[in-house]
Copies of this chain bind each other. A is one copy, B any other.
Amino acid sequence: MFINLIKRKISTASLSEIFKKCNIDQQIKVRGWVKTTRIMKDVIFCDINDGSTGQNLQLVCNKTQKSKLIFGSSIEAKGLLSQTPKGQLEVKVDEIKVIGDCPTQNYPYVARTLYSSEYIRENLHFRSRVSSFNSMIRCRHQLTNIINNYLFNEGFIQIHTPILTSNDCEGAGEVFIVKPDNDDLLKIMKKNKDDPNEKAYFDHKAFLTVSGQLHLEAMAHGLTKVYTFNPAFRAENCKSAVHLSEFYMLELEESFIESLDDVIATITKMFKSVTKEFLDKSIDDVKRINKDNIEERFNWLEKDFKILTYDEAFKIIKENEHKLKTTVNYKDGISKEQEIFLTQDYCKVPCFVIDWPKEQKSFYMRQKKDNMNLVEAFDFLIPQVGEVAGGSVREDNYDILKSKMSSDQSLEWYLNLRKYGSVTTGGFGLGFERYLQYLLDIHSIKDVIPFPRWAHNCQM
């Protein structure tokens, strides 16, 4: 009656494995999508790719196989793995099987053509057929893995902070609200029949998270070193090259810290260490995306980052007002253009802006002991995208915190963290996509995430 567990057949090697192992003069079976073909006098050269590497594998095919080598179709080929006189691997094909053909009608791509990223974005479900997009995805994957392992080894515990939250997300901009899409269900679940639909399922309003920081702080009050690497959401009506409605944030929180220096040291060490390991492992894909000025683009890795106070930063911007399009005003903070000017043109390295006027920052940031008008917070600015991270020491004085919070009850739990066994905590949130934009020199944030969502756009 029972079938014993089926042992899996030895799987066909991926292109990545083939390039690594180089088992020349062996019969192999390979699979992938047809990228290009070149018809020669006696043979057809056909490049295929399966997404495991950016490097295509060249098939040497008989001219009778021409009809099977259609751009975009998926094929399986058997033959002898060989080496060209120049040392390149290729397969001398005996047999080709078409798995799925690819009609040209309505398919968005044709062979040997470069498309704009805007065009490629029109069909998100076909982006994985585009080599440069696949390079980006492998880089994103590699960077995710490196960050997680780096933090694991540094003793930080990953917390899956919630997407749904009942917190009043004060000050973080426009939020999304959530309810079941079933009116009958809402009717049954309402505790009072006059309640709005938005309160039926959870008994109160529920939003998509704008940040996991407050939840992390609760966890840090017992687990000490924690982080989250989750999606966050903003319902802004915005089409900028550095904003999305759904994006990934790396947020980290550490207890028993003493000052903002600790937080700056943590993010600096991580930023440099992770980037170095990333370049070490993903340089081929980085170059495939953009091979220009690689050394220059990463020369900041060996330099010290700069630290400016808000007042110093303001003075620099004011002195350079004539070079800027945006207005410079002490109370307005620093615009995106001004951020990029500070880090890219002035400091010429990533830089921190610290000691912010408290009016410009969130209620949970600690006021400086020697100047209560300033808070112990930083913005971390990098060339090309501007602010990539924001961090602070959190207000650890119960009374000050209480006076700065609205009377709203939804955050009473947060206040209580500072009443029972409180510790000084600090941390930061880093925009993962902006970090990727900087590393890969990609203009639009929509091209460093597999499924971008922004105003009027939610494909698939």
Given A149-B145, A180-B174, A235-B201, CB of A157 within 8 Å of CB of B51: yes
Stretch with Cβ within 8 A of B (4 or more), from A7-15, A38-46, A77-85, A289-297: A7-15
A9: chain B residues at CB < 8 Å are 258, 262
Nearest CB on B from A17, distance (A): 8
Chain B residues with Cβ below 8 Å from A92 are none
* A379 contacts across to B, CB distance below 8 A: none
Given the known inter-chain contacts A16-B155, A456-B189, please indicate yes or no for A225 contacting B52, CB distance below 8 A. yes
Nearest CB of B to A20, in Å: 11
Interface flag for A33 (CB, 8 Å): yes
- Are B460 and A237 closer than 8 Å at their CB atoms? no
Give A431 Cβ to nearest chain B Cβ, in Å: 14
B202 pairs with A74, CB closer than 8 A? no
Name which residue of chain B comes closest to A100, CB basis.
B422
Residues 39-94 of A at the B interface (beta carbon under 8 Å): 50-52, 72-74, 76
The answer to whether the Cβ of A176 comes within 8 Å of any Cβ in the partner chain is: yes
CA distance A167 to B231 in the complex (A): 19
Interface size on A, residues (CB 8 A): 139
Complex contacts, A246 vs chain B, CB 8 Å: 162-164
Query: What are 14 pairs between A and B in contact, CB < 8 Å?
Result: A2-B347, A8-B265, A16-B155, A34-B421, A52-B155, A52-B223, A74-B255, A128-B219, A162-B450, A163-B208, A164-B458, A175-B181, A202-B453, A215-B460
A444 within 8 A of B: no
Looking at the assembled complex, report how far the CB atom of A356 sits from the nearest CB atom of chain B, in whole angstroms. Answer: 16
Query: Is A403 at the interface (CB under 8 A from chain B)?
Result: no
Q: Chain B interface: which of A134-142, A320-328, A366-374, A382-390?
A: A134-142
A445 to B110, CA, bound (A): 50
Question: A142 CB to closest chain B CB, in angstroms?
Answer: 9
A28 at the interface (CB under 8 A from B): no
Given B175, B261, B449, which contacts A6 in the complex, CB threshold below 8 Å?
B261
For the complex, is A194 an interface residue (Cβ under 8 Å from B)?
Answer: no
Q: How far is the CB of A10 from chain B (nearest CB, A)?
A: 11
Cα(A66)–Cα(B50), bound, Å: 67
Checking B11, B17, B218, B223 against A134 with a beta-carbon cut-off of 8 angstroms, the contacting residue is B223
Judged by a CB distance under 8 angstroms, whether A405 is at the interface is no
Q: Is the CB of B266 within 8 A of A8?
A: yes
Q: How far is the CA of A8 from the CA of B347 in the complex (A)?
A: 22
Point out the residues of chain B lying under 8 angstroms from A74, CB to CB.
255-256, 421-423
Stretch at the interface among A111-119, A329-337, A357-365, A411-419: A411-419
Assess the B31–A256 pair: CB atoms within 8 A. Answer: yes
When A and B form their complex, which 10 residue pairs have the shortest distance between CB atoms, in order from nearest? A128-B222, A100-B422, A8-B265, A51-B223, A180-B235, A177-B181, A202-B458, A162-B451, A125-B218, A125-B413
Check if A455 is an interface residue, CB within 8 A of chain B: yes
Q: Indicate if the CB atoms of A160 and B129 lie closer than 8 Å.
A: no
Contacting residues, chain B, for A171 (C-beta < 8 A)? none
For A188, the closest partner residue in chain B by CB is B237
Interface presence of A23 (CB below 8 A):
no
The yes or no answer to A224 lying at the interface (CB within 8 A) is yes
What B residues does A456 contact at CB under 8 A? 189, 191, 201-203
Asked if residues A159 and B137 are in contact (CB atoms below 8 Å), the reply is: yes
Q: Which of A251-276 contact B (CB under 8 A)?
A: 255-256, 258, 261-262, 264-266, 268-269
With an 8 A cutoff between CB atoms, is A206 at the interface?
A: yes
Q: Are A451 and B215 in contact (CB under 8 A)?
A: yes
Residue A435 interfacial (CB < 8 Å)? no
- Residue A192 lies at the interface, judged by CB distance under 8 Å to chain B: no
Most chain B CB atoms below 10 A, which of A7, A188, A396, A451:
A451
Q: Are A99 and B422 in contact (CB under 8 A)?
A: yes
**Are B103 and A420 in contact, with the CB atoms below 8 A?**
yes
Q: State the CA gap A20–B172 with chains docked (Å).
A: 42
Residues in B whose Cβ lies below 8 Å from that of A439: none
List residues of chain B with CB within 8 A of the CB of A418: 100
The answer to whether B100 and A423 touch across the interface, beta carbons within 8 angstroms, is yes
Is A36 among interface residues, defined by CB-CB distance under 8 A? no
Q: Does A144 contact B (CB under 8 A)?
A: yes
Give A203-233 as 1s and 0s: 1 = Cβ < 8 Å from B's Cβ atoms.
1111110000011001111111100001101
